Amino acid sequence: MRISNQKIYNEEISQKELKINKPIITPRSVPSSSSQGTKPELVSDVNATPAKQEAKFSLSTLNGKEMKEDMKQSLIADKSGLVNEEQMQVAVVSTLLSQISEKASIAFVKEFSSLVAKGDAVEDSVKTALKSLVTKGELSEVDAKVINGISFRASQLDKNLEMLFDGKGGANDMTIAVDPVEIAIEKASKVISDMKSGSLKFDERSLEAPSNVKETISNGTATGASASGDSSLVSATGSSVNAGGGFLWKPSSDNNSKLVVLFPPSISGSIQSAGLYTSVPPTSENMIESGRFSGVGNGARTHFRFSKSGGQYSDGIYAVGILKDGSYVSYKISDTSSRQESKIGK
């Protein structure tokens, strides 16, 4: 049995902000040829250009019992014994990569850990870490897309199969998806087993696909329309807006001095994700960064946080909220370094 190499990450929810601990990477033993067979290890000359890898991953090589054990040892539950969908994806990716090589699995976790420690969103970090393996010649692009697709589907703990949620939020929050560790592992294992048998179809998932957004966003319905019909902005020196106001672009948050965007209460409960884009309609090609959901408050407004301060983004970009019906709301930010707000309730 393979001994898992990592406790990937955990969440601790404070009153102010979700904190993701740095992963703890513990020593692992490499299985002997007598117990499991020798797994291929990728060997390369550090001075040479990494060779393009051939596809190696196959569901047929997966051992269900060992897979469950690997995921169990990789996950850290919260104080209530729960894990969320984002945690599950990291555990599933690491487990699937180990079927190719221990080296690839360990390299993925190290890269992922580094990205999360810098404040990058979890799903974005998964994709970036996979791309890093491809760039370094440790993983084929085909395998990276297949593993991204399988892990995205296998990590779903609720009925919404189009996005991954974390475990933070208030009562009746539709963007929370958690389960006890054992149940979450059983769900993931059942999905992968069904894929292996052919009873469940799975697709590759692009490493460029926006996090928590359908790969094809525009559906021709209310595309680009504001939920309130008014997305005009006023500066902080203009009309006064109280805590129960509308849209807010706050370049420097009180928590970490990085950008936080608040969407109006009129769409709270309807917004499923948010991001920054160079133009609209929003697509994977014009996305700058996907926001990290961090709760609802300050007048029932939905908060999304980003990795930089507002002024570090180019002027004239768009803050976009993707709604559950596939439409979106957008706000053009003329001066990213300045606090900007919309009219109350807009």
240-269: per-residue pLDDT in tens?
A: 223 345 889 999 887 788 999 999 888 888
What pLDDT was estimated at residue 219? Answer: 30
The architecture (CATH level 2) of 233-342 comes to Sandwich (2.60)
Query: What letters, b where the CB count within 10 A reaches 16 and e where it falls short, cover 178-206?
Result: bbebeebbebbbebbbebbeeeeebebbe
Low-confidence ranges of the chain (pLDDT < 70): 1-53, 169-174, 210-245, 343-346
Helix axes 181-197, 141-154, angle to 10 degrees: 130
| Domain ranges (residues) in the chain | 6-197, 233-342
What pLDDT was estimated at residue 168? Answer: 76
What pLDDT was estimated at residue 268? Answer: 83
| Number of residues that this document lists for the chain | 346
Cα three-residue angle 19-24-27, rounded to 5 degrees: 170
Surface-to-core class of residue 337, CB atoms within 10 Å of its CB (0-12 exposed, 13-18 middle, 19+ buried) = middle
Question: pTM for the full model?
Answer: 0.54
Question: Whole-angstrom Cα distance, residue 160 to residue 150?
Answer: 15
What pLDDT was estimated at residue 340? Answer: 87
What pLDDT was estimated at residue 44? Answer: 39
Query: What letters, b where the CB count within 10 A reaches 16 and e where it falls short, cover 28-51?
Result: beebeeeeeeebeebeeeeeeeee
What pLDDT was estimated at residue 41? Answer: 43
Spatial neighbors of 28 by CB under 8 A, at least 6 apart, are: 2, 3, 4, 5, 102, 106
